Amino acid sequence: MAFTVVIPARYASSRLPGKPLADIGGRPMIQHVWDRAAESGAGRVIIATDSERIGEAVRGFGGEAVMTRNDHPSGTDRLQEVATTLGLEDDAIVVNVQGDEPLLPAGLINQVAGLLEGAPDAAIATLCEPIRDPKELFNPNAVKVVMDEAGRALYFSRAPIPWDRETFEDQRRMERVPETAGWYRHIGLYAYRVSLLHQFVGWQPAPLERAESLEQLRALWHGARIQVGIAEQTPPAGVDTEADLERVRARLAGPSPHQE
């Protein structure tokens, strides 16, 4: 299975400026992300950045950086620029690994790439995991996904879909998620065919995308098929805040998470 990993890394961050260069155990966070991606079966790992400071750091630890424009509206647009710069073929597979996921298991990168390779009618592949906690089910920050019997995405939402009319009448008393239907949280790890990336950047944001603030709904709106698989393991949370950063520092100071 041949695929390329691209890690978008921007220096600017509203919550944590300079996040990719944040020190974790004497190394910048972006190096930890690169290490996880390098452990996967990817033939090439690229860090896409609009910051020369990040580019210098990447080259300093032996990684490969591709400089991109600084006006991309989304990480998907940055991916498309990298695919064009590298001259990747339309049928090539690119896995987008977020630059703030220093604990992401390499196995999940392989899983999402293999999922797309095994679904020739799909343009995108992504992962999900069952929801067990009612608080997560009703949390709008936890994105839910509904699939058909073949594992193709029907819809993504911040709402608790599907809606169990009887069980959800008094959600405050729910102690566990019912088993009447499957509820799944979307994991934001994507594999793309390069042809889809080229199409995506030419599409206007869809009404559903604007309503939910979920970029993947643009692909569904335009008829692209998204294959969804249940993650083989649960990925630890990424780094959004200083508290997240301290949590990751503490974990990486102990046993290596990818060896557990």
Across 191-213, average pLDDT: 96
pLDDT over 50 (residue 260) = no
Q: How far apart are CA 189 and CA 186, in angstroms?
A: 9
pTM across the whole model: 0.90
Q: Are 7 and 46 in contact (CB under 8 A)?
A: yes
CB atoms within 10 A of CB 223: 7
Among left, alpha and beta (phi > 0; psi -120 to 50; other), residue 19 is: alpha
**Strands (E) located in the chain:** 4-9, 23-24, 27-28, 44-49, 64-67, 93-96, 124-130, 144-147, 153-157, 184-193, 226-230
What are 27-36's pLDDT values in tens digits? Answer: 999 999 999 9
Could you tell me which of 238, 239, 216, 218 has the C-alpha nearest to residue 228? Answer: 216
What is the model's pLDDT at position 149?
94
The CATH fold of domain 3-128+185-203+215-233:
Spore Coat Polysaccharide Biosynthesis Protein SpsA; Chain A (3.90.550)
Every domain of the chain and the residues it spans: 3-128+185-203+215-233
The pLDDT of residue 259 is 46
Residue 193 three-state SS: strand
Query: Does residue 13 carry a pLDDT above 80?
Result: no
Instruction: Give the pLDDT confidence of 77-120 residue by residue, as tens digits.
Output: 889 999 999 999 999 999 999 988 999 999 999 999 999 999 99
